[in-house]
Amino acid sequence: MVHATLGHMPPPLSLMQWVQGDSVSLQGLIGQVVLIEVFQVNCPGCFLYSLPQAIDLHNRYASQGLAVLGIATAFEDFDKNTLDNLKALLENGHVVGETYKALSEKGQLIEDCWPQRIPFPVAMDSLIKNDLPVSEARVDHYIQAHLPEFFHQPSAYQQQLKQRVVNYLQQQQYTPQTFNGFALQGTPSHILIDQHGKLRHCTFGFFPELELRIQQLLAERF
């Protein structure tokens, strides 16, 4: 798999299908600033913070050259982060699992559904079933992509971390292709691509500078 690198053109998105909106390619969006919001259906923070933020940014900056895309992925809770649950979310605001629990506790559901509607194209990440045992190479690749401080740790702690990685990978029924292609650490994640099609930011979790970064990229000359 070709991996995305900051400052370079990212590989094509590897997706199961576009669930909402027309099929989109990154190559076809050159000339626009692209924000890709990567979320999971069973991710409370995605619905409490990042998706509402992405919707707001779409509403305010689409006319200025911002293209927002949503990609639903699954790196855990494979029984909830499904294509069917994504379709139900987009069709009627149906939410599940921890997302339902968190939104319900905060009074953000109407008739048990999320009242917000995602206005931009949304796709499901391509999920490849893991039938092979966890190899040493796969463990090493995961460590290099997700644990950059690993080799600075004491030897005994490295062994503990490595065993945790093995245990984690053994629990993974599927490998999400776009999630892994951008070496994401979790959800929500925010991917920013400039007007030339180059990857500029790839951030997990709270990203208070997101709007500022978008403004800066929109202001750059194409």
Give the residue from 70, 73, 113, 109 showing the smallest Cα distance to 94: 113
Averaged pLDDT for residues 178-183:
93
> Under a CB-based contact definition with an 8 Å cutoff, are residues 37 and 67 in contact?
no
Q: Which CATH number fits domain 15-128+177-219: 3.30.930.10, 3.40.30.10, 1.10.238.10, 3.40.50.300?
A: 3.40.30.10
> Among 61-65, 75-79, 102-106, 172-176, where is mean pLDDT lowest?
172-176
Name the pLDDT band for 164 (thresholds 50, 70, 90): confident
The three state secondary structure string of 22-63 is CCCCCHHHCCCEEEEEEECCCCHHHHHHHHHHHHHHHHHHHH
Name the pLDDT band for 1 (thresholds 50, 70, 90): low
> Which residues face 199 on adjacent strands?
193
pLDDT above 70 covers what percent of the chain? 99
pTM: 0.83
pLDDT at 147: 86
- Report the distance separating Cα 162 and Cα 152, nearest Å: 13
- Report the distance separating Cα 181 and Cα 57, nearest Å: 25
Give the residue from 196, 183, 212, 214 showing the smallest Cα distance to 38: 183
More confident residue, 194 or 162: 194
Sign of CA dihedral 62, 84, 110, 43: negative
pLDDT at 2: 66
What's the burial of 180, exposed, middle or buried (CB within 10 Å: 0-12/13-18/19+)? buried
| pLDDT over 70 (residue 92) | yes
Q: Which helix (H) or strand (E) holds 92?
A: helix 83-92
Which residue intervals of the chain bear CATH 3.40.30.10? 15-128+177-219
